[in-house]
């Protein structure tokens, strides 16, 4: 059932995108008095679920009707010979419909060569209502309309999201414990607890965008605050391809605060309490959750002495470590307890400009990613899937 729901969700999302795209072509075609033969959501080989057409000022509908040809061999059918109730007698009016194959949709514009067009129509003399007879600037807007309307849809969706939920994120400067590194970021030169100040002199506002900004800008240097020292780390462009395939280079570092115990935890009766903060393992000072997890992995199926901070006092508590290197406690992951979370609220009037800004930033980011793709020094073309 879950799989079916997800399939329906994907089809619904794609349908909205396709509908907006084809609507852009449709409206510009109508604006420039270009005939639109058909406007369909979903494809309709052989038959359509629903058809609608305005004939003599009245809307007519058909359901589960088969497709009818407009040509017999290489000859266009003379519409005057067709029955009075045959919709083909009114080619000047657009036929709207819903197909049965949910893989997209189409807008069939007279005189435009695309996947929906009857190629035989191009053998006939050009007509003033056809796309191919329109001035170049009108043809441009008819073709560009699909992309434009997809952008407008993105603006509206982002605006709606911001109007309802706002924008909530952790600013990079508020990540007071710095980053937690993986093997790749360690190899490049970053260390746990580093606070990244900027890439090539450009600071990052959103902590979650650190890795993305580093890659998209093809940064050559990063300034970090390590303890009280400011250091510069050089980033070899050859790392870019590996970075694209390595998520989690800059995880958020945060303290190891006990948030609860796993069911049947081996340390439920150890004396450890919810709210305790582990400050060290076996007299080795450490407090970041990522560092403590790594250290515990070295003590599988044994015991350790944990230095714990409780109400301002430091106490030592013996803890058991299971075969997976875990002490079977749950971390307190409520970030609002450790960090200042930035929240921007928007009303209807301010949400639309904010949505436009976000949509434009995404377009700009896509252009930067294309730059990565064609850059020989980064070899990102070997990691197209990550882009």
Please check whether residue 48 lies inside any domain of the structure. Answer: yes
pLDDT at position 386, please?
46
Quick one: CA torsion of 198, 199, 205, 210, rounded to 10 degrees? -120
pTM flag (> 0.85): no
**H/E stretch holding 215:** helix 210-216
Per-residue pLDDT of the chain (387 residues; tens, 9 = 90+): 888 899 888 888 889 999 999 999 999 999 999 999 999 999 999 999 999 999 988 999 999 999 887 765 556 777 777 888 888 888 889 999 999 998 889 999 988 876 545 566 666 778 889 999 999 999 999 999 999 999 999 999 999 999 999 999 999 999 999 999 999 999 999 999 999 999 999 999 999 999 999 988 888 999 999 999 999 999 998 888 888 888 889 999 999 999 999 999 999 999 999 999 999 999 899 999 999 999 999 999 999 999 999 998 999 999 999 999 999 999 999 999 999 999 999 998 899 999 999 999 888 888 877 777 776 666 666 655 544
Q: What are phi and psi of 321, to 5 degrees?
A: -115, 130
Q: What is the DSSP string of 137-191?
A: HHHHHHHHHHHHHHHHHHHHHHHHHHHHH-EEE-BGGG-TT-EEE-HHHHHHT--
CA distance to 34, 195, 255, 290, 339, per residue, from 334 (Å):
57, 21, 11, 16, 9
Domain span including residue 83? 2-133
Mark which of 296, 315, 332 sits at the end of a domain.
332
DSSP secondary structure letter of residue 119: G
Statement to judge: residues 102 and 235 lie in one domain:
no
Statement to judge: residues 90 and 187 lie in one domain:
no
pLDDT digit string, tens, across residues 144-163: 999 999 999 999 999 999 99
Statement to judge: residues 22 and 40 lie in one domain:
yes
pLDDT digit string, tens, across residues 75-123: 677 777 788 888 888 888 999 999 999 888 999 998 887 654 556 666 6
Q: What are phi and psi of 23, to 5 degrees?
A: -65, -35
Statement to judge: residues 271 and 326 lie in one domain:
yes
Statement to judge: residues 280 and 181 lie in one domain:
no
pLDDT digit string, tens, across residues 211-227: 999 988 888 999 999 99
CA distance 16 to 26: 15
Statement to judge: residues 35 and 114 lie in one domain:
yes
Statement to judge: residues 226 and 308 lie in one domain:
no
Stated length of the chain: 387
Mark which of 291, 316, 332 sits at the end of a domain.
332
pLDDT at position 145, please?
95
Statement to judge: residues 221 and 359 lie in one domain:
yes
CATH value at residue 176: 2.30.42
Please check whether residue 160 lies inside any domain of the structure. Answer: no
- Do the beta carbons of residue 61 and residue 52 sit within 8 Å? yes
Tokens 């052989």: give the residue: 46
Statement to judge: residues 203 and 351 lie in one domain:
yes
Please check whether residue 316 lies inside any domain of the structure. Answer: yes
Statement to judge: residues 190 and 116 lie in one domain:
no
Statement to judge: residues 6 and 36 lie in one domain:
yes
pLDDT at position 160, please?
93
Q: Would strands 221-226 and 195-199 be described as parallel, antiparallel, or unpaired?
A: antiparallel
Residue among 231, 223, 185 at smallest CA distance from 203: 223
CA distance to 1, 40, 298, 346, per residue, from 232 (Å):
52, 57, 32, 38
User: Is 228 exposed, middle or buried, given 0-12, 13-18 or 19+ CB atoms closer than 10 A?
Assistant: exposed
pLDDT at position 260, please?
94
Please check whether residue 46 lies inside any domain of the structure. Answer: yes
Please check whether residue 71 lies inside any domain of the structure. Answer: yes
């Amino acid at each position: 059932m879950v799989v079916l729901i997800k399939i329906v969700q994907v089809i619904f999302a794609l349908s909205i995108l396709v509908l907006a795209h084809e609507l852009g072509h449709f409206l510009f075609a109508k604006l420039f008095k270009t005939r639109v033969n058909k406007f369909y959501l979903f494809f309709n080989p052989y038959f359509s679920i629903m058809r609608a057409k305005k004939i003599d000022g009245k809307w007519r509908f058909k359901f589960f009707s088969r497709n009818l040809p407009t040509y017999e061999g290489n000859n266009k059918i003379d519409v005057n010979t067709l029955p009075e109730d045959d919709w083909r007698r009114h080619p000047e009016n657009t036929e709207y419909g819903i197909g049965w194959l949910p893989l997209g949709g189409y807008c069939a514009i007279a005189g435009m060569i695309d996947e929906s067009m009857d190629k035989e129509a191009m053998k006939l003399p050009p007509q003033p209502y056809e796309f191919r007879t329109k001035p170049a600037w009108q043809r441009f807007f008819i073709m560009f309309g699909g992309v434009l309307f997809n952008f407008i849809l993105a603006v509206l969706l982002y605006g709606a999201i911001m109007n309802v939920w706002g924008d909530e994120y952790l600013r990079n400067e508020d990540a007071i414990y710095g980053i937690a590194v993986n093997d790749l970021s360690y190899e490049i030169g970053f260390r746990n607890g580093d606070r990244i100040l900027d890439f090539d002199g450009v600071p990052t506002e959103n902590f979650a965008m650190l890795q993305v900004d580093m890659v998209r800008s093809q940064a050559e240097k990063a300034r970090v605050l390590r303890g009280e020292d400011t250091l510069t780390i050089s980033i070899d462009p050859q790392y870019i391809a590996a970075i694209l395939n390595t998520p989690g280079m800059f995880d958020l570092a945060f303290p190891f605060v006990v948030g609860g115990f796993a069911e049947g935890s081996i340390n439920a009766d150890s004396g450890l309490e919810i709210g305790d903060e582990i400050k060290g393992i076996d007299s080795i000072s450490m407090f970041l959750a990522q560092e403590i997890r790594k250290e515990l992995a070295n003590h599988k199926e044994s015991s350790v002495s944990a230095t714990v901070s409780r109400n301002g006092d430091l106490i030592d508590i013996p803890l058991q470590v299971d075969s997976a290197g875990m002490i079977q406690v749950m971390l307190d992951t409520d970030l609002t307890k450790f960090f200042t979370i930035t929240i921007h609220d928007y009303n209807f009037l301010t949400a639309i400009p904010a949505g436009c800004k976000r949509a434009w930033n995404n377009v700009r980011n896509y252009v930067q990613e294309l730059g990565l793709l064609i850059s020989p020094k980064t070899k990102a073309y070997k990691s197209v899937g990550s882009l």
